[in-house]
């Protein structure tokens, strides 16, 4: 039996999640010393609760990176902060990502996918899942291919400092990587005519925001937020193509609907955490201040109260209730970007004759406390 965290990398955590939704929708897990919100209603309530924070109030930045470039970036990310400045900065970040030209993203992703596939004899899964999406975002940020490659390498190190389980070595490498990313991306803030970071500065100036460090940090955040989550979505989409007994989607629209159902059915990000600064209540459960809450986004997606036939993979769902991109103040603003990159890359793969049936059915997952990233082999 997996634990709520072990479920992330379990071959099939969904019966376990379903039992939890039915029997213990919001409960305290003694072993993890955390509350667990599994049902859609509990997840919704926790994500909307004003008393919940994204970091423990006594440790806004993990101790091991405090005072380092990684700590400076981490402590300025909208993802890792709450309150009024976060609220203002989040609006700037959301508007910037919302203004991205979807067709330009698709064109960049297609060009890179073709290049990667042309240069490879076997399907380079890791390169397609991790490097390609980060490279696309680096290009959008105005980096040339060489600098984009370096940024992609560095972001792979930076994200290692984010889980609470990060080792001192990982934190040290992340600190060096953050410094490298600041150096690469900093100058792009000054180019307000081109690129995502210039757009970020333009949006910020428009609302009177002048502090540069949080803008640079969230520019780096564009790369780090893309990295694991988009890799997981691409991997889980390829797996779903190999497992679902339906015809392969042929049109871009059909493929996009398929990807969106993967997002609900086999969530790339399976959970997120909150910390109570003041007591919160859901139904007859009261969580005191100073507690941790694990929100099982992947379980909530499959709550029958949220979606009919929740365990069925049905790409024709019209308005599914999906928790994968979170909800409330921290709702992910990168959904369109991620879906566009993944749809484009998978479309290119299918176009060059990729046969999902070739994928091994013995799937393992990369160690992670929240991202469900399959290790794909043939």
For binding to ligand HEM (CB under 6 A), which residues are involved? 54, 78-79, 90, 93, 97, 137, 221-222, 225-226, 229-230, 233, 268-269, 272, 324-326, 330, 332-334, 337-338
Shortest Å distance, C-beta 294 to ligand HEM: 11
**CA-based nearest residue to 67, from 171, 160, 142:** 171
Q: Is the dihedral of CA 179, 55, 130, 111 positive or negative?
A: negative
For residues 286 and 46, is the Cβ–Cβ distance under 8 A?
no
How many angstroms separate the CA atoms of 188 and 121, rounded?
A: 35
Shortest Å distance, C-beta 296 to ligand HEM: 12
For residues 78 and 86, is the Cβ–Cβ distance under 8 A?
yes
C-beta closer to ligand HEM: residue 22 or 162 = 162
Shortest Å distance, C-beta 158 to ligand HEM: 14
Q: Which long-range contacts (CB under 8 A, 24 or more apart) does 9-18 make?
A: 9/364, 9/365, 9/366, 9/367, 9/368, 9/372, 10/365, 11/363, 13/270, 13/298, 14/298, 14/302, 14/311, 17/296, 17/298, 17/299, 17/302, 18/299, 18/302, 18/311
C-beta closer to ligand HEM: residue 68 or 225 = 225
Tally Cβ neighbours within 10 Å of residue 179: 17
C-beta closer to ligand HEM: residue 49 or 137 = 137
Q: Closest residue (Cβ) to ligand HEM? A: 334
In Å, how far are 41, 156, 198, 262, 317 from 307, measured between CA atoms? 12, 35, 40, 14, 9
Query: What is the largest distance, in Å, between two alpha-carbon atoms of the chain?
Result: 58
C-beta closer to ligand HEM: residue 128 or 337 = 337
C-beta closer to ligand HEM: residue 117 or 134 = 134
Shortest Å distance, C-beta 373 to ligand HEM: 11
Phi, psi (rounded to 5 degrees) for 165: -85, 5
C-beta closer to ligand HEM: residue 78 or 287 = 78
C-beta closer to ligand HEM: residue 19 or 57 = 57
Shortest Å distance, C-beta 86 to ligand HEM: 7
Shortest Å distance, C-beta 353 to ligand HEM: 26
Shortest Å distance, C-beta 169 to ligand HEM: 26
């Amino acid at each position: 039996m997996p634990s709520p965290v072990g479920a992330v990398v379990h071959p099939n955590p969904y019966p376990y999640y379903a039992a939890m939704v039915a029997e213990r929708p919001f409960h305290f897990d003694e072993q993890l010393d955390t509350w667990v919100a599994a049902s859609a209603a509990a997840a919704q309530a926790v994500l909307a609760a004003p008393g919940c924070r994204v970091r423990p109030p006594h440790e806004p930045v993990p101790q091991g990176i405090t005072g380092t470039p990684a700590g400076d970036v981490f402590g300025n990310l909208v993802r890792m902060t709450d309150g009024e400045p976060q609220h203002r900065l989040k609006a700037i970040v959301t508007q910037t990502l919302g203004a991205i030209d979807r067709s330009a993203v698709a064109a960049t992703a297609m060009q890179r996918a073709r290049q990667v596939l042309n240069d490879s004899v076997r399907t380079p899964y890791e390169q397609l899942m991790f490097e390609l999406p980060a490279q696309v975002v680096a290009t959008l940020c105005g980096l040339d291919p060489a600098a984009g490659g370096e940024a992609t390498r560095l972001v792979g190190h930076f994200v290692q400092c984010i889980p609470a389980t990060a080792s001192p070595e990982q934190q040290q490498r992340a600190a060096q990587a953050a410094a490298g990313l600041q150096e690469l991306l900093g100058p792009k803030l000054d180019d307000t005519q081109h690129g995502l970071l210039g757009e970020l500065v333009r949006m910020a100036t428009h609302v009177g925001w002048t502090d540069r460090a949080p803008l640079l940090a969230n520019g780096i955040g564009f790369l780090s937020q893309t990295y694991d989550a988009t890799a997981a979505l691409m991997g889980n989409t390829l797996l779903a193509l190999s497992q679902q007994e339906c015809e392969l989607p042929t049109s871009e629209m059909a493929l996009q609907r398929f990807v969106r159902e993967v997002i609900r059915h086999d969530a790339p990000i399976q959970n997120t955490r909150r910390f109570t600064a003041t007591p919160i209540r859901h139904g007859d459960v009261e969580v005191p201040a100073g507690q941790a809450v694990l929100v099982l986004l992947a379980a909530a997606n499959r709550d029958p109260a949220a979606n009919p036939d929740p365990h069925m993979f049905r790409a024709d769902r019209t308005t599914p209730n999906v928790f994968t991109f979170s909800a409330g103040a921290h709702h992910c603003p990168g959904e369109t970007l991620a879906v566009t990159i993944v749809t484009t890359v998978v479309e290119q793969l299918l176009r060059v004759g990729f046969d999902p049936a070739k994928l091994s059915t013995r799937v393992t997952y990369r160690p992670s406390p929240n991202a469900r990233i399959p290790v794909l082999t043939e």
